[in-house]
Amino acid sequence: MLTEEEGRPGQTAYDLPIAPAPRPPSGAGRLESLRALYERQAKLMDPVGLRSALMLGVKHGDDLARTLLLAHLSAAPPSPEALGALGALADETAHRIGAMGASRIALAYAHLGDAAQASVWARRGEAAPRGIPAGLLDLTGGGALKPGRVSGRLVGLKPLKVALYRRPDPAAPYLLDAAGLVASTEPDAQGRFSFSGLAAGRYYLAFAFAVPEGELRVAGHRGDLTLDAKRPALDLPALTVKPAPNRR
């Protein structure tokens, strides 16, 4: 995982063993199976599978799935599919939604570029007891940038996947979690990768290797990746991934 520490590029490595696919959720062990499925899809860096698993959890009434899915949609690239999933979470005939939930839904709609629904939910959050004033919510700057792209090329060791995560603010920790997972892709034969249709924000990259490679070194990156209206595309210099010099 590529990080930024004290304004300088850094990196952190994690060993994330992936459990076998859990049995289909049913009966007394349903909740346990569902949560094992969320964890597995997150570790596989599979945003499509993760969203599908979380939607299944929402269908079965798992509050954790609702929380994770809302956080995930607040990081995901704007798309009709993401808006559809958010609409399922915002269905008041199926879920009880309090003031905090309404405000978080408003922020998610703003991120996905639906300003009208963002305003509606911000007002609902404000009107509820102990609600958050709509003026305290930043509902601007959402929607996909054009082209909203992060692209680059890997040299040296080739990972199975390159994943993109969103970092909510400069003080947020670097996590390989379901909430921050934005997108993933397999690098092509030349090591190239690209993510597009992204919203403005701060991002970071992570690489997944199938077999532990020992300690690795990454050169060529500059820390966090920030997209905004003035700079809606980042074409990164070549990133070199290789074993550490002291590897035996």
Same domain, 168 and 99: no
Q: What is the pLDDT of residues 48-58, one digit of tens each?
A: 999 999 999 99
Residue 37 lies in a domain: no
* Burial of 139 (C-beta count, 10 Å sphere; 0-12/13-18/19+): middle
The span from the CA of 198 to the CA of 149, in Å, is 6
- Domain boundary residue, one of 143, 165, 181: 143
Q: Which amino acid, one-letter code, is at 69?
A: L
- What's residue 212's pLDDT? 60
- 248, pLDDT greater than 60: no
Residue 36 lies in a domain: no
Residue 61 lies in a domain: no
Same domain, 94 and 154: no
Residue 106 lies in a domain: yes
Same domain, 139 and 157: no
- 24, pLDDT greater than 80: no
Range of the domain at 126: 78-143
Same domain, 87 and 109: yes
Same domain, 162 and 235: yes
Residue 45 lies in a domain: no
- Which whole number is the average pLDDT over 46-69? 95
User: How high does pLDDT run on average in the chain?
Assistant: 92
- 146, pLDDT greater than 70: yes
Same domain, 209 and 237: yes
Same domain, 213 and 127: no
Contact (CB, 8 A) for 52 and 18: no
What CATH number corresponds to the domain at position 223? Answer: 2.60.40.10
Predicted structure pTM score: 0.92
Output the six-digit token pair for 189. 């034969």
Q: What is the pLDDT of residues 101-140, one digit of tens each?
A: 999 999 999 999 999 999 999 999 998 787 889 888 999 9
